[in-house]
Amino acid sequence: MDLMTILQVLDSTVRLATPLLLACLAGLFSERAGIFDIGLEGKMLAAAFFSAAVASLTGSVWMGLLAGMAASLVLSGIHGLASITFRGNQLISGVAINFLAAGMTVLVAQDWFSQGGRTPSLMGGGRFEGITLPLAETLRDVPVLGPIYYELISGHSILVYVAFLTVPLSWWILFRTRFGLRLRAVGENPAAVDTAGVSVIGLRFAAVAICGVLCGIAGAYLATGLQAGFVKDMTAGRGYIALAALIFAKWRPWYALYSCLLFGLLQAVALRYQNIELGGLVIPVQFMDALPYILTVVILAGFVGKAIPPRAGGEPYVKER
């Protein structure tokens, strides 16, 4: 395998890992505050549809991005009301959001565009284009480093760079700020936070809102960056894969990056190679396509007991009188 082939696979890995990374970081903020969110899939799906729909209607991808974030925030608000205000079961609330998004997106898409539950293809200003970084063309012919910079680092849409910059930003917020300390404390011992005079409900709603924003960006990237429009169920289980990556990463931002890149690499290899031969044994493409989902099951089965979640995760907080 030559250098260019490796770089093309890694380039696809970065693109495919981006929505997983954003969704994983979204779940990281929510679960660090004690709110489990199975609804990442539904939020991404709703954001993907509304971002593509608004971008198609207005011709502006930025309006589409705002619409996707707004749709995700609405679903986050519903999840917050159900699990924080009314102290409902967080898992059931998340599953309900997934069902709601799956049905609503197809129904509204058919009503608005009459194209079988999809939006029109996006072109021009309706989608995010790749950005050529400074000196990329100049350094293109430099041995080794030139192709790496030109093929792998340059040429991505702005949301890809936003996603990767969000990793150190999330680490800094969670582990170097007062807000992050309180957020993590709410997920571990909300009663102690309440005793200190800090609003547990306010912090948890803030975490849910951050989760909504990041899911909105992830969904918008799927429909207006990775692809050029919305199709039915286009998230294809990425929300659940992001949850598995979050558990694998043990709720830490940098580990989340590595986990998502691993899943992205598996998807990139499956897309590029239809059949892989190892020692005379031909591995069919169907197995390669299923490998990220198989790995998800393996991680959930093997790491749930080893990776310790926030102690107050999934438990509604009832203030003592």
Helix (H, G, I), strand (E, B) or coil at 56: helix
Check pLDDT > 70 for residue 106. Answer: yes
Q: Rounded CA gap, 47 and 71, in Å?
A: 6
Of 30-39, 67-76, 266-275, which gets the smallest average pLDDT?
266-275
Q: What is the pLDDT of residues 160-212, one digit of tens each?
A: 999 999 999 999 999 999 999 999 999 999 999 998 889 999 999 999 999 99
Residues 191 and 129: their CA atoms lie apart, in Å, by: 47
In whole angstroms, give the CA distance from residue 128 to residue 125. Answer: 7
Exposed e or buried b for every residue in 192-213, given b needs 16+ CB within 10 A? ebbeeeeebeebbbbbbbbbbb
Residue 318, pLDDT > 90, answer: no
For residue 305, is pLDDT > 80? no
Residues 121 and 229: beta-carbon distance below 8 Å: yes
- The two beta strands, 281-283 and 276-278, are antiparallel
**Would you state the structure tokens that stand for residue 32, as one six-digit string?**
């660090």
* Other beta carbons less than 10 A from residue 35's beta carbon: 30
Sign of dihedral through CA atoms 86, 90, 96, 100? positive
Candidate from 65-69, 94-98, 224-228, 312-316 with smallest mean pLDDT: 312-316
Among 53-67, 83-97, 124-138, the least confident range: 124-138
Q: Quick one: pLDDT at residue 136? A: 85
Kindly indicate the confidence band of residue 3, based on its pLDDT and cuts at 50, 70 and 90. confident
CB neighbours of residue 3 within 10 Å: 12
Q: Which two tokens stand for residue 172?
A: 């800094």
> What integer is the mean pLDDT of 53-67?
96
- Residue-level pLDDT at 140: 84
Amino acid symbol at 284: P
Give the position of tokens 């898409």.
Answer: 109
N- to C-terminal Cα distance for the chain?
A: 67
Cα–Cα nearest to 184, from 26, 303, 320, 30: 30
pTM of the model: 0.94
Site of tokens 């203030």: 319
Contacts of 200-203 spanning 24+ positions with Cβ under 8 A: 200/317, 200/319, 201/84, 201/85, 201/317, 203/33
